[in-house]
């Protein structure tokens, strides 16, 4: 093999011919590109932004199967919790109870709400047990807003004597009351729900004495949609700053414009493609398209830098310079793009629809850079005026160039090599120590998607303070025969399971059919607590159910059990969804199921927010390491084909492995958990880090073919291509850092993480990799020394 470490002289000559051909056929190539871009722009304009909760779930996980099967009946993960808190007095006043009643009516008509899954003292499905005319009945707590003091006292008494209400829907100090509603999963209109809650619940019912707090997944996504416009601020600021930086680097506007054209074309094609295949943009994934565009710009900067260099080398002949820049950079640019695309495609292996969609769209978008950057390059340059020769000459004498020379001399000197190796070895060891604390799942009780002081997290925390657990874990109890849940043994198993799992300190409270049966039985005996037990006979239990459910429509009873009395559920309301809490509670459930199997019922794990969170976390544990390994293996294979060397991949992956370790250690120290949202971002980072190494190694090979001296080749590569790499890395790190200003904490932290990823992999590519090449003199580079030079060297020796 010879050439730029990547292509033979024949292949290189072919690339020169392709460059010439593109310029000769520029008119129709431009026409086709413009027409296709216009079509894609039309498609991109139709693109919508939404999140589908179902697409966030790992569909192959058994928990998700249980969740999907029973969520409509027993409650899903899309719950909204609205808390009315009074400053003075209690909620038992005419005004507050009327507000709660009316707000409940509003919630009952929200779009996509499950009308049978609303819990509030103002809702028809919240009932209490009473003896009327020698029989048990279960009327709603409030049929209408209270009118007299007697009505208010009656409601207060009912609440205080109902175990399923006091402490659950009304706080124990009577200062707060909850309205809890579940929404049908699918394509929920989070924006509309957010708007309705603000304008139909908070605005009309909040006053000086009444504060309304709202939490839950639909509200969380509502806030994320609200903040998603931050992306436009970030886009505007980074665009302007990058323009100025590129202008300062290239000393003319063409240096600013050319990368913009590449980024814009790729973005239009990428967004258009997303719409064409029927996908939508997820507001939490906006950081990824931004990064892809940044990569497109970054490749363009490399090309533009090379174009300047070739313009000078080719005695200021524009066309020759264009073709030479195209031919010389084709292989590293193309390899870089393919590596990025395939690195992202690895995400396809995660069985989560949203991530799979992301893998497909991001890969296409990255591949679109091939056309916008590589193939259109000669044509765009042809139409643009050539740079001013005096600026091309003088920028080579500039401060930045001198800085690069000095730093390269220091790094490549013998003491510099020692310092470099010791430094990166220390970084690797420290990273390995710290990354052991990396959390899977959410590390805090609040939502990690938003900042701790965000209105959402403040609401979440406030509700937790009054009611403890609000995040449901639903364990479905499947009877082995019809009417199994009328069997005392089945109910006893439910109760026993409930008490066992209740032992976890992060369970706020729990609820099951066994609780209802015990309450009804007690009411039959004048609410004597001694009778708060599960009756012994099947007939007795069947009777209790009959009395309790007789006055309720089937849609209301279905939230407790199915009409055939076969399937029911035990629901635990957990205090938080931290990764370790979820894992511990699920383990407790599994532990009970394996230790105490029942011959009447089976416990099916698990639905509700905690159930699906557990499924996602388990999927991450399975896929996190796999993603990283597959990402690195993919890159290694591409490097193997590009450089036709087994060693090339090892040298070039070294900076990536160090960066990956460093970023994971940072996540561990900063308490950033790995979750379904962070997983693709880190995987994308792996693919992007390789580009720096590709450009530098290709240039080393190119230079060694001329000079025949490894040190000189490395030095020249770092001072020429390395200069472009440095500029690219600095601008990319800066622009990615702007994400830290986002109101969406997830985007901000991902911005910081990716900036760190690119920063560390850049420094390692610029220091560690060249030092390793100088020390170990790899064959895939040394074999490129021209034979005459090698022979002369051997003779001298």
Partner 1 sequence: MEINFSNAGIFLILFTIAFILMDEYIAKPWRRARLERLAKTDPKVREALEVAARVAAREKGAETD
* E strand segments, 432-502: 471-479
Distance (Å, whole) CA 611 – CA 605: 7
Region of 188 please: left (phi>0), alpha (psi -120 to 50) or beta.
Answer: beta
Task: Single out the segment in contact with partner 1 by CB under 8 A; choices: 179-187, 393-401, 508-516, 533-541.
Answer: 393-401
Question: Minimum Å distance from CB 187 to partner 1?
Answer: 21
| 465 within 8 A of 457, measured Cβ to Cβ | no
> Which residue do the tokens 């074309």 mark?
265
Task: Single out the segment in contact with partner 1 by CB under 8 A; choices: 28-36, 80-88, 236-244, 599-607.
Answer: 236-244
Q: Residue 55 or 242: which CB sits closer to partner 1?
A: 242
Query: Using CB under 8 A, which of 35, 131, 240, 277 touches partner 1?
Result: 240
Q: Residue 260 or 527: which CB sits closer to partner 1?
A: 260
Contacts for 481 with CB less than 8 Å, ≥ 6 apart: 566, 600
| 441 within 8 A of 675, measured Cβ to Cβ | yes
Question: Minimum Å distance from CB 247 to partner 1?
Answer: 7
Distance (Å, whole) CA 467 – CA 2: 71
Distance (Å, whole) CA 406 – CA 400: 10
Q: Residue 255 or 443: which CB sits closer to partner 1?
A: 255
What tokens does 120 get? 């509030």
Distance (Å, whole) CA 129 – CA 158: 9
Of the candidates 286, 450, 353, the one whose C-alpha atom is nearest the C-alpha of residue 53 is: 353
Angle, CA of 600, 604 and 605, to the nearest 5°: 150
Of the candidates 769, 601, 617, 745, the one whose C-alpha atom is nearest the C-alpha of residue 697 is: 769
Bridge partner residues of 119 (DSSP): 180
Task: Please tell me whether residue 390 binds partner 1 under the rule CB under 8 A.
Answer: yes
Q: Residue 251 or 715: which CB sits closer to partner 1?
A: 251
Task: Please tell me whether residue 202 binds partner 1 under the rule CB under 8 A.
Answer: no
Query: Using CB under 8 A, which of 13, 32, 147, 393 touches partner 1?
Result: 393
Task: Single out the segment in contact with partner 1 by CB under 8 A; choices: 230-238, 459-467, 573-581, 653-661.
Answer: 230-238
Task: Single out the segment in contact with partner 1 by CB under 8 A; choices: 90-98, 233-241, 300-308, 674-682.
Answer: 233-241
Task: Please tell me whether residue 236 binds partner 1 under the rule CB under 8 A.
Answer: yes
Q: Residue 324 or 474: which CB sits closer to partner 1?
A: 324
Task: Please tell me whether residue 394 binds partner 1 under the rule CB under 8 A.
Answer: yes
Task: Please tell me whether residue 232 binds partner 1 under the rule CB under 8 A.
Answer: yes
Site string for partner 1, 282-321 (x = CB under 8 A): ----------------------------------x-----
Task: Please tell me whether residue 526 binds partner 1 under the rule CB under 8 A.
Answer: no
| 128 within 8 A of 520, measured Cβ to Cβ | no
Of the candidates 214, 192, 216, 212, the one whose C-alpha atom is nearest the C-alpha of residue 203 is: 212
Could you give the dihedral angle defined by the CA atoms of residues 413, 417, 418 and 423, in that order, rounded to the nearest 10 degrees?
130
Bridge partner residues of 471 (DSSP): 574
Instruction: Give the H/E segment covering residue 116.
Output: strand 113-119
Site string for partner 1, 489-508 (x = CB under 8 A): --------------------
| 758 within 8 A of 733, measured Cβ to Cβ | yes
Is residue 676 classed as helix, strand or coil in its secondary structure?
A: coil
Task: Single out the segment in contact with partner 1 by CB under 8 A; choices: 70-78, 238-246, 290-298, 501-509.
Answer: 238-246
Task: Single out the segment in contact with partner 1 by CB under 8 A; choices: 209-217, 227-235, 601-609, 722-730.
Answer: 227-235
Query: Using CB under 8 A, which of 389, 537, 553, 563 touches partner 1?
Result: 389
Q: What is the DSSP string of 565-585?
A: S-EEEEEEEES--BHHHHHHH
Region of 552 please: left (phi>0), alpha (psi -120 to 50) or beta.
Answer: beta
Distance (Å, whole) CA 692 – CA 681: 19
Q: Residue 260 or 552: which CB sits closer to partner 1?
A: 260
Query: Using CB under 8 A, which of 39, 239, 382, 434 touches partner 1?
Result: 239
Q: Residue 251 or 677: which CB sits closer to partner 1?
A: 251
| Strand bridging mode 113-119 / 130-132 | unpaired
Cis, bond preceding 606 (omega within 30 deg of 0): yes
Distance (Å, whole) CA 95 – CA 76: 32
Question: Minimum Å distance from CB 228 to partner 1?
Answer: 10
Task: Single out the segment in contact with partner 1 by CB under 8 A; choices: 171-179, 240-248, 666-674, 785-793.
Answer: 240-248
242 phi/psi in degrees, rounded to 5: -65, -40
Task: Single out the segment in contact with partner 1 by CB under 8 A; choices: 214-222, 225-233, 609-617, 663-671.
Answer: 225-233
HSE on the CB side for 372, CA within 13 Å? 31
Query: Using CB under 8 A, which of 24, 173, 203, 388 touches partner 1?
Result: 388
Query: Using CB under 8 A, which of 10, 88, 208, 397 touches partner 1?
Result: 397
Task: Single out the segment in contact with partner 1 by CB under 8 A; choices: 141-149, 382-390, 422-430, 741-749.
Answer: 382-390
Q: Residue 226 or 559: which CB sits closer to partner 1?
A: 226
Question: Minimum Å distance from CB 53 to partner 1?
Answer: 25
Q: Residue 11 or 252: which CB sits closer to partner 1?
A: 252
Q: Residue 316 or 525: which CB sits closer to partner 1?
A: 316
Task: Please tell me whether residue 229 binds partner 1 under the rule CB under 8 A.
Answer: yes
| 342 within 8 A of 638, measured Cβ to Cβ | yes
| 739 within 8 A of 752, measured Cβ to Cβ | yes
Total residues in contact with partner 1, by rule CB under 8 A: 23
Task: Please tell me whether residue 256 binds partner 1 under the rule CB under 8 A.
Answer: yes
The count of other CB atoms within 10 Å of the CB of residue 379 is 18
Task: Please tell me whether residue 741 binds partner 1 under the rule CB under 8 A.
Answer: no
Task: Please tell me whether residue 247 binds partner 1 under the rule CB under 8 A.
Answer: yes
Question: Minimum Å distance from CB 703 to partner 1?
Answer: 24
Task: Please tell me whether residue 260 binds partner 1 under the rule CB under 8 A.
Answer: yes
Task: Please tell me whether residue 233 binds partner 1 under the rule CB under 8 A.
Answer: yes
Q: Residue 416 or 455: which CB sits closer to partner 1?
A: 455
Instruction: Please give the residue ranges that form the binding site for partner 1 (CB under 8 A).
Output: 229, 232-233, 235-236, 239-240, 243, 247, 251-253, 256-257, 260, 316, 388-391, 393-394, 397
């Amino acid at each position: 093999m010879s050439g730029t470490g990547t292509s033979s002289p024949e292949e290189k000559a072919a690339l020169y011919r392709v460059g010439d051909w593109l310029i000769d056929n520029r008119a129709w190539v431009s026409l086709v590109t413009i027409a296709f871009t216009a079509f894609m722009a039309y498609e991109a304009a139709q693109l919508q932004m939404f999140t589908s909760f179902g697409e966030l779930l790992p569909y192959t996980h058994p928990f998700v199967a249980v969740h999907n099967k029973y969520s409509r009946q027993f409650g899903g993960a899309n719950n909204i919790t609205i808390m009315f808190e009074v400053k003075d007095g209690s909620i038992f006043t005419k005004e507050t109870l009327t507000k709660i009643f009316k707000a409940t009516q509003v919630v009952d008509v929200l779009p996509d709400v499950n009308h049978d899954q609303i819990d509030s003292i103002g809702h028809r499905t919240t009932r209490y047990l009473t003896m009327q005319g020698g029989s048990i009945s279960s009327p709603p707590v409030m049929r209408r807003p209270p009118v007299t003091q007697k009505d208010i006292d009656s409601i207060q008494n009912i609440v205080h004597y109902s175990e399923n209400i006091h402490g659950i829907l009304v706080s124990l100090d009577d200062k707060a009351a909850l309205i809890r509603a579940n929404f049908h999963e699918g394509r929920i209109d989070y924006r509309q729900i957010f708007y309705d809650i603000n304008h139909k619940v908070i605005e009309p019912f909040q006053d000086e004495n009444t504060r309304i707090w709202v939490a839950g997944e639909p509200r969380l996504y509502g806030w994320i949609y609200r903040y998603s416009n931050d992306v436009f601020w970030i886009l505007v600021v980074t665009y302007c700053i990058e323009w100025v930086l590129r202008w300062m680097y290239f000393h003319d506007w063409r240096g600013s414009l050319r990368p913009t054209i590449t980024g814009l074309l790729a973005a239009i094609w990428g967004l258009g493609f997303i719409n064409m295949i029927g996908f939508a943009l997820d507001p939490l994934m906006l950081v990824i398209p931004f990064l892809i565009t940044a990569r497109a710009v970054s490749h363009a900067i490399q090309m533009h830098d090379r174009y300047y260099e070739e313009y000078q080398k080719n005695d200021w002949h524009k066309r020759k310079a264009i073709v030479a820049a195209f031919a010389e950079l084709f292989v590293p640019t193309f390899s870089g793009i393919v590596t990025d695309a395939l690195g992202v495609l690895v995400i396809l292996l995660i069985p989560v629809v949203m991530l799979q969609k992301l893998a497909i769209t991001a890969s296409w978008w990255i591949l679109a850079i091939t056309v916008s950057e590589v193939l259109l390059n000669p044509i765009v340059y042809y139409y643009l005026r050539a740079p001013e020769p005096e600026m091309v000459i003088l920028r080579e004498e500039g401060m930045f160039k001198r800085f690069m020379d000095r730093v390269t001399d220091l790094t490549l000197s013998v003491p510099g090599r020692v310092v470099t190796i010791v430094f990166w070895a220390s970084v690797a060891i420290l990273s390995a120590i710290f990354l052991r604390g990396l959390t899977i799942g959410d590390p805090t009780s609040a939502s990690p998607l938003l900042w701790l002081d965000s209105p959402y997290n403040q609401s979440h925390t406030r509700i937790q303070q009054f009611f403890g657990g609000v995040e449901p874990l639903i364990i479905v109890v499947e009877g082995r025969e019809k009417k199994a849940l009328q069997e005392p043994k089945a109910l006893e198993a439910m109760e026993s399971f409930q008490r066992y799992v209740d032992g976890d300190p992060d369970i706020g409270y729990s609820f099951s059919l066994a609780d209802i049966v015990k309450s009804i039985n007690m009411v039959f005996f004048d609410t004597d607590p001694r009778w708060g037990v599960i009756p012994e006979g099947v007939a007795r239990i069947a009777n209790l159910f009959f009395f309790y459910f007789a006055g309720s429509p089937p849609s209301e009873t279905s939230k407790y059990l199915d009409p055939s009395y076969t399937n029911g559920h035990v629901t635990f309301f957990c205090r938080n969804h931290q990764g370790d809490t979820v894992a511990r509670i699920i383990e407790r459930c599994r532990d009970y199921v394996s230790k105490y199997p029942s011959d009447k019922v089976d416990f099916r794990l698990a639905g509700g927010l905690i159930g699906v969170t557990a499924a996602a976390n388990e999927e991450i544990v399975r896929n996190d390491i796999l993603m990283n390994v597959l990402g690195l293996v993919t890159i290694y294979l591409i490097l193997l084909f590009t450089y036709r060397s087994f060693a090339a991949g090892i040298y070039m992956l070294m900076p990536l492995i160090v960066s990956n370790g460093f970023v994971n250690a940072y996540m561990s120290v900063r308490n950033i958990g790995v979750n379904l949202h962070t997983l693709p971002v880190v995987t994308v980072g792996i693919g992007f880090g390789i580009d720096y190494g590709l450009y530098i190694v290709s240039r080393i090979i190119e230079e060694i073919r001329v000079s025949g001296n490894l040190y000189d080749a490395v030095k020249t590569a770092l001072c020429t291509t390395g200069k472009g790499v440095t500029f690219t890395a600095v601008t990319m790190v800066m622009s990615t850092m702007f994400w830290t200003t986002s109101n969406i904490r997830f985007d901000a932290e991902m911005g910081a993480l990716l900036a760190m990823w690119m920063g560390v992999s850049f420094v390692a590519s610029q220091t560690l990799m060249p030092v390793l090449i100088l020390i170990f003199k790899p064959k895939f580079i040394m074999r490129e020394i021209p034979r005459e030079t090698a022979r002369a060297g051997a003779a001298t020796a």
